[in-house]
Amino acid sequence: MADAETLLQEVSTYLKPKDVEHIRQALEFSGNAHKGQLRKSGDPYISHPIAVARILTPLHLDAQAIMAALLHDVVEDTHISNEEVAKKFGKSVAELVDGLSKLDKIEFETSEDAQAENFRKMLLAMARDVRVILIKLADRLHNMRTLESMSREKCERISRETMEIYAPIANRLGLNAIYQELEELSFRHLHPNRYAVLSKALKVARGNRREVVGKILEAITQRLKENHVIAQVQGREKHLYGIYKKMQAKSLAFSEVLDIYGFRILVEDIPSCYLALGVLHGLYKPIPGKFKDYIAIPKGNGYQSLHTTLFGPYGTPIEVQIRTTEMHRIAEAGVASHWLYKNTETPINDLQKKTHQWLQSLLESLSQSGSSVEFLEHLKVDLFPDEVYVFTPKGKILALPRGATAVDFAYSVHTDIGNRCVAAKVNFELVPLRTELRNGDRVEIITAAHAKPNPAWLSYVITSKARSQIRHVLKTMHFDESTRLGERLLNQAFASLGVKPQDIDESQWEKLVKDTTAKSREEILADIGLGRRLNMVIARQLARMSESGTHELPSSGVITIQGTEGLAVQFAKCCRPIPGDPIIGVIKHGQGLIVHTHDCPMLRKGRGSTGEWLDVTWDRHINKPFDVNIKLIVANQRGVLAKAAAAIAESESNIENVHFTNEGDYTTLYFTLQVNNRMHLANVMRSLRKIPEVVRITRVKSVPA
C-alpha cells in the first residue's frame, strides 16, 4: 500500500532503523487485525490508522506514539485484546491504546453520560501521558477530513463535539495548525451554506487585494532592511472560521471585514522583535488599543508574539505578528515541540510546565466532580479561550479566563487561599468578591483562619478549579454538619424510648449499616440530619437489637439550637426567628432542620407542615447576629432615612438590606437588620420610636419563604 510505504519513509527521516522496524511490525499487525473491514467511504479500514500516524510524523512523535496511532482501533473494533498488544509491543504502547479506546463494554443511561465518561477516561490517560491526546486529535482530524460519508445528523453531532471540545484542546496545547483545521472543518459541516458563501467571497477578495498586499509586503521588507533588522516577512491569510467569528461578534458584513489578510515577521531574537515593532509604527500609524505583548506575558498555551494593527495604505487595517523563529516553532507545534525541537530547552520547558499545571488542574477537577457530566461541564469552562492577565501582590502574572472573579483568582493562587478568602483588594481598593477582573489588575486576597466557602460563590465563579473545590468543600461541610445534627436527633429519639446511647455497641451499628445498605454509621447519621431517614425508626431498630432497651416512657428530648450549625440547621426566611422567640423545628427531606417561630404564618397555612416536627429550644449562650425584618411607616420629610440609619447604628445593629415604597405623605421603609436576640431588637425599635417622623414600627413575620 503506497500510504504505508510513505509513512515508513517519513518516520525513517528522524527515527532509528530499529524503531522503524517496530513501526513496520505494528503496521502489519494492524493490517491483519482490520483485514476485510471497510470504512463508510468504502476504503480499506487500515487507511485510517495510517493517515492518523502520518498526521503525527511532522511533529516527530516517538516510535511508541506512532505504533499506538496504528493500533488505536484494534482493541475497540477487532478481536484483539489489550493484553495481546502489551505482549507484542510493550506496556507503554498498550497504555496509550487503552487511553484511546472507548468504554463500549459499559452501559450508560444516556448517550451524554457515555460521551462524558469517554472524555473523562481519555483525559485521565492524557494527564498521565500527553501523547494520548495528540493521537486522539490526529484521529479526530482524519475523521473530520472524511466526514462526508456519514449521515447529516451524525455529521453535525461529531462537528459540534469537535468545535466544543477537540479544537479548544488543540488550541490549549498550542497545536495551531490542527486547531485551525478542526475549526474550519467543523464550520464547513455545521454551516455548509455559510461556509460556501464566505469561501467564494474570500477568493474574490483575495484576487482584488493581491496588488495592495504585494505593495505592503514590499514596503515592510524595504523599511526593515533600511533599519538593519534581519527578518523574514510572510503574508498570512486569516482562516475562514476566524473571519466568520469576527462578523458575528461585531455584526459585520463580509465587505466590512477589512483585515482578512495579515503579515508575520520572523526575526532572530527578542530585542529584534521590539525593534521591528518600532520600525513598523514608523511606517504605518498604529491603531490605538490594538497592540498586545504576548512575549512579556505569554498565553496559557505557551504562545509568544507581538500583535499590532496598523492603518495601511488606502485606510486598510493591517494585522502584523512579530516573533522569533523559536517562538514561531512553538506557536505551530505547541506541546509537541518537545519531540520536534529537542535542542531548544528553555521555552519548551516553560511550556511543558504550563501544560503539566493545566493537566494537574484537570485531575483535581476530575477527582472532585460528582459525575462525568459535571466534569465535562468543568472542562468546557476551562477551555474558554479568552484570557485576562492579572498580578499578585509580589508581581507574579496569572492568566485567568475572561470573566474570572476575585474568588477564581484566590483558588488559582492556592486551594487554601480560596477556601479561606473573606475579601479582596483590586488595585489597593476593597472590592466585592464577585468583582470581575480586568487585564493588568493587581489583586490581593484577604483570608481568615476559620472562613469557609459560601454556596453563593458558585453563581459567579467560572474556573473549573474554583467551582470543583467549592462544591467539594460544601459537600464535606454539609455531610459533617448533617452527621452532627443526626446524632443529636437520634439521641433525642433514644431518650424518648428510654435507651441510653452508650448501651448501643459497635456490632449493633455494623448490623444496622449492613441491613440499611449504607456505607457507614456516619452516612446513616447524615441521612437523619438531612431528613432522609426518620430518627425514631433508626432508634427503634437499634433498640430492638439492644438487650438493655427498657422502652419506658421518656423524658422528652429537646434539640438545643446554637446558631452556628451552618448548613445542617437553617433559619426560615419566612419568619426569621431570633433568640428569645418561641421556636419549633421541621426536618425536611434533603434540607435538614429548618427552624420557625411558633406563630410563623407559613406554618399556619400548612406550607411548612411537610416533614417531621421537633421540639427545639435556644442555647442560653448564643453570641451570633441573626437577620430580622422590620417595617417603618414614616412621614415624608428630608433626612428621615439618614436618621433611621443613625439610630440603628447607635443601637449596635447592622443594616443588611433596605427598600421602600412611597405612598403620598408617608413612606414605608423595610429593613433587614442584624440583632443578637429579642432584647437587642427591642432596644433598636425603642431608638427608632424616638424619631419624630416615625409613625409606626412593627416586626415583619410574613415574608414568603
Please report whether residue 607 resides in a domain: yes
Residue 260's pLDDT band (cuts 50, 70, 90): low
In this structure, the answer to whether residues 185 and 77 fall within a common structural domain is: yes
Which CATH number is 639's domain given? 3.30.70.260
Q: Mention every residue, 6+ apart, whose C-beta is less than 8 A from residue 137.
A: 166, 169, 170, 175, 178, 182
In whole angstroms, how far apart are CA 569 and each of 486, 566, 590, 593? Answer: 11, 6, 12, 5
In this structure, the answer to whether residues 180 and 232 fall within a common structural domain is: no
Return the amino acid letter for 625: P
φ, ψ (nearest 5 deg) of residue 19: -70, -40
Cell of 211: 496588488
In this structure, the answer to whether residues 609 and 645 fall within a common structural domain is: no
Please report whether residue 456 resides in a domain: no
In this structure, the answer to whether residues 689 and 602 fall within a common structural domain is: no
Least confident of 36-50, 404-418, 536-550, 638-652: 536-550
Cell of 489: 436527633
Q: Mention every residue, 6+ apart, whose C-beta is less than 8 A from residue 49.
A: 30, 34, 69, 70, 71, 72, 73
Residue 405: is its pLDDT beyond 90? Answer: yes
Mean pLDDT computed over every residue of the chain: 80
Residue 571's pLDDT band (cuts 50, 70, 90): confident
**Cβ distance 277 to 290 under 8 Å?**
no
Residue 343: is its pLDDT beyond 50? Answer: no
How many angstroms separate the CA atoms of 606 and 604, rounded? 5
Cell of 469: 473545590
In this structure, the answer to whether residues 155 and 205 fall within a common structural domain is: no
DSSP class per residue in 492-517: HHHHHHT--GGGS-HHHHHHHHHHHT
Q: Which of 529, 557, 585 is the last residue of a domain?
A: 557
In this structure, the answer to whether residues 16 and 104 fall within a common structural domain is: yes
Which CATH number is 277's domain given? 3.30.460.10
Residue 505: is its pLDDT beyond 60? Answer: yes
Closest CA to 657 of 684, 681, 627: 627
- Helix axis angle, 131-145 relative to 47-56, nearest 10°? 120
How many angstroms separate the CA atoms of 586 and 510, rounded? 29
**For the residues 100-118, what does the mean pLDDT come to?**
55
User: Count of CB atoms within 10 A of residue 465's CB?
Assistant: 22
**For the residues 165-178, what does the mean pLDDT come to?**
82
Q: Which of 77, 113, 259, 436 is catalytic?
A: 77
**Cβ distance 225 to 284 under 8 Å?**
no
Please report whether residue 519 resides in a domain: yes
Please report whether residue 318 resides in a domain: yes
Residue 553's pLDDT band (cuts 50, 70, 90): very low
Long-range contacts at 498-506 (CB < 8 A, ≥ 24 apart): 498/549, 498/550, 498/551, 498/552, 498/553, 498/554, 499/539, 499/542, 499/543, 499/546, 499/548, 499/549, 499/550, 499/551, 500/548, 503/546, 503/548, 503/549, 504/542, 504/545, 504/546
In whole angstroms, how far apart are CA 15 and each of 32, 261, 572? Answer: 24, 38, 71
Q: Mention every residue, 6+ apart, whose C-beta is less than 8 A from residue 92.
A: 64
Q: Provide the CA 200 distance to its chain's centre, in angstroms.
A: 38
Residue 612's pLDDT band (cuts 50, 70, 90): low
Residue 214's pLDDT band (cuts 50, 70, 90): confident
Which CATH number is 44's domain given? 1.10.3210.10
Q: Which of 21, 28, 43, 76 is catalytic?
A: 76
In this structure, the answer to whether residues 156 and 69 fall within a common structural domain is: yes
Q: What percent of the chain has pLDDT over 70?
A: 80
- Give the three-class secondary structure for 626: strand
Instruction: Identify the domain containing residue 124 by its residue range.
Output: 2-189
Please report whether residue 274 resides in a domain: yes
Residue 278's pLDDT band (cuts 50, 70, 90): very high
| pLDDT given at position 106 | 41
How many angstroms separate the CA atoms of 424 and 445, rounded? 5
How many angstroms separate the CA atoms of 551 and 503, rounded? 13
Please report whether residue 119 resides in a domain: yes
Q: Which of 336 and 366 is assigned the larger pLDDT?
A: 336
| pLDDT given at position 348 | 46
Please report whether residue 397 resides in a domain: no
Q: Which of 319, 342, 365 is the last residue of a domain?
A: 342
Cell of 309: 494593527
Q: Does residue 76 have an active-site annotation?
A: yes
**For the residues 330-348, what does the mean pLDDT come to?**
57
Closest CA to 49 of 59, 60, 65: 65
How many angstroms separate the CA atoms of 449 and 434, rounded? 21
In this structure, the answer to whether residues 594 and 660 fall within a common structural domain is: no
Q: What is the pTM of this model?
A: 0.57
Q: Mention every residue, 6+ apart, whose C-beta is less than 8 A from residue 645.
A: 655
For residue 518, the cross-strand partners are: none
φ, ψ (nearest 5 deg) of residue 597: -75, 155
**Cβ distance 603 to 609 under 8 Å?**
yes
DSSP class per residue in 588-601: ETTTEEEEEETT-H
In this structure, the answer to whether residues 185 and 213 fall within a common structural domain is: no
Closest CA to 576 of 664, 681, 425: 681
User: Alpha helices, DSSP H only, in 561-664?
Assistant: 601-604, 640-650
User: Count of CB atoms within 10 A of residue 493's CB?
Assistant: 21
**Cβ distance 595 to 619 under 8 Å?**
no
In this structure, the answer to whether residues 67 and 161 fall within a common structural domain is: yes
**Cβ distance 53 to 20 under 8 Å?**
no
Q: Classify residue 588 as left (phi > 0), alpha (psi -120 to 50) or beta.
A: beta
Q: What percent of the chain has pLDDT over 90?
A: 23
Q: Which of 525, 557, 589 is the last residue of a domain?
A: 557
Residue 315: is its pLDDT beyond 80? Answer: no
φ, ψ (nearest 5 deg) of residue 47: -65, -30
Q: Which of 531 and 266 is assigned the larger pLDDT?
A: 266
How many angstroms separate the CA atoms of 264 and 306, rounded? 10
Residue 81: is its pLDDT beyond 90? Answer: no
Please report whether residue 384 resides in a domain: no
User: Count of CB atoms within 10 A of residue 28's CB?
Assistant: 12
Residue 213's pLDDT band (cuts 50, 70, 90): confident
How many angstroms separate the CA atoms of 375 and 50, rounded? 32
φ, ψ (nearest 5 deg) of residue 290: -110, 25
Instruction: Give the chain's domain count.
Output: 5
In whole angstroms, how far apart are CA 332 and each of 5, 171, 192, 306, 340? Answer: 26, 10, 27, 15, 11
Residue 143: is its pLDDT beyond 50? Answer: yes
Q: Which of 339 and 130 is assigned the larger pLDDT?
A: 130
In this structure, the answer to whether residues 646 and 597 fall within a common structural domain is: no
**Cβ distance 331 to 304 under 8 Å?**
yes
How many angstroms separate the CA atoms of 474 and 452, rounded? 9
Residue 415: is its pLDDT beyond 60? Answer: yes
DSSP class per residue in 450-498: T----GGGGGT--SHHHHHHHHHHHHHHHHHHHHHHHHHHHHHHHHHHT
Residue 619: is its pLDDT beyond 50? Answer: yes
Residue 375's pLDDT band (cuts 50, 70, 90): low
In this structure, the answer to whether residues 54 and 203 fall within a common structural domain is: no
Count of helix runs (H) and strand runs (E) in the chain: 29, 19
Render pLDDT for 376-389 as a digit per residue (tens, 0 to 9). Answer: 555 655 554 467 78
